[in-house]
Amino acid sequence: MLAARMHGYQQPLVLEEVKIPEISPDEVLVRVGGAGMCRSDVQLVDGYFHSALNLKFPITPGHEIAGLVETIGERVPETAQLAIGDAVVVAAGWGDGTCRQCRAGNEQLCEHGGWPGFGPPGGYAEFVAVPYRHLIRVDAKLKWEELAPLTDAGVTPYRGIKKLRAAGVLGPDRVIAVFGASGLGSYAVQYAKLLGSGATVVVFARNEEKLALAKQHGADYAINTRGKSLDDLRAELQRLTGKRKLDAVIDCVGAKETIQTGFGLLATAGAFVSVGLVGTEIAIPLFPLVSGEFSYFGSYWANHTDLQEVLALAQQGKIHSSGQKVRFEDINDHLEMLRAGDIIGRAVVVFNVDKAADPAQRRSEQGVVAR
């Protein structure tokens, strides 16, 4: 099969023929339909996770995976309800199943776990082996470029906004800001509308085209932050929303500037959640945080339940993806575009882009009858 693999840090992926993985009895072989390209793939290549991940090269990146069940291991139980030809997505936190976090359902937080594409071979390949517990069967109506990004870009901000909801800072007469309007941000504005209980949603970014897309996805207002001071932004917020401060912030970027701006605009008793990881540390003034009783949350990827909820929203047509197909051969070019921030929406690698049938078509070609 074809795979795009990392043979070391800070070098292009090598597109090569490798052996199709052999599955263990509790695994399923998935024929990759689409693999979303994430900014964290660029960070992986650049060595951002070097100290957190002990990688043995070569590795196959690609952690947003949707595809078709190709073969099923002999110990996969009937109750998994998986059949050959089913469209599936891969839930990404593969924990040990025994620690406190795993038992609480948060396998993405497991200290002994892994994430496909960050060690275990990921979706930048025609096939991937997946433990059956981490597959979720999906509606064949959605396209690969809609399905694959849901497993990270689509679900990570969902978990973040659930934390803001739980913090009690959303509701009518509240303002929630989404920082960033790329892969994660374009989903975050949709969840801010869906889970915000009437809160006004303002998206902050520096790219007009991305801001326009966020407006299409339901943001009430868009603010271009380029070249603006905190006072400029307060004035613009006042003009648009009637308020100078934000009750809630989801930061899908995680750059020094977005953290400073987000905390700088936060209202008393406001809450800020970080999901983006562009920078490496946060520095925020201490007195406003203490005296204003700010809440700060880290939110990491998402668990199986979060993904099931997001898939339900997608399958009911309540959220929309702006994925675009990328040819496997063009994978390195698109990593460069991601590095430069030039991708609008989400790029999704497909194999043989012209022939890559969407799940429904593929199933009928295989003679698989929909349930």
Residues that bind Zn ion (CB under 5 A): 95-96, 99, 102, 110
Nearer to Zn ion, 96 or 173 (CB): 96
Nearer to Zn ion, 96 or 336 (CB): 96
Encoded tokens for 63: 């952690």
CB of 94 to Zn ion, least distance (A): 9
CB of 54 to Zn ion, least distance (A): 17
Element (H, E) at 337: helix 331-340
Encoded tokens for 276: 């983006």
Residues, the chain: 371
CB of 50 to Zn ion, least distance (A): 23
Nearer to Zn ion, 201 or 307 (CB): 307
DSSP string, 225-282: -TT--HHHHHHHHHHHHS-SSEEEEEESS--HHHHHHHHHTEEEEEEEEE---SSS--
Closest by CA position to 241, among listed 193, 196, 175: 175
CB of 107 to Zn ion, least distance (A): 6
Report the alpha-carbon distance of residue 183 to residue 13 in Å, rounded.
21
Closest by CA position to 234, among listed 245, 223, 224: 245
Nearer to Zn ion, 1 or 99 (CB): 99
CB of 110 to Zn ion, least distance (A): 3
Nearer to Zn ion, 102 or 148 (CB): 102
CB of 114 to Zn ion, least distance (A): 11
Treating both helix axes as pointing N-terminal to C-terminal, what angle do 39-46 and 331-340 enclose, rounded to 10 degrees?
Answer: 100
Nearer to Zn ion, 81 or 98 (CB): 98
Encoded tokens for 203: 């998206």
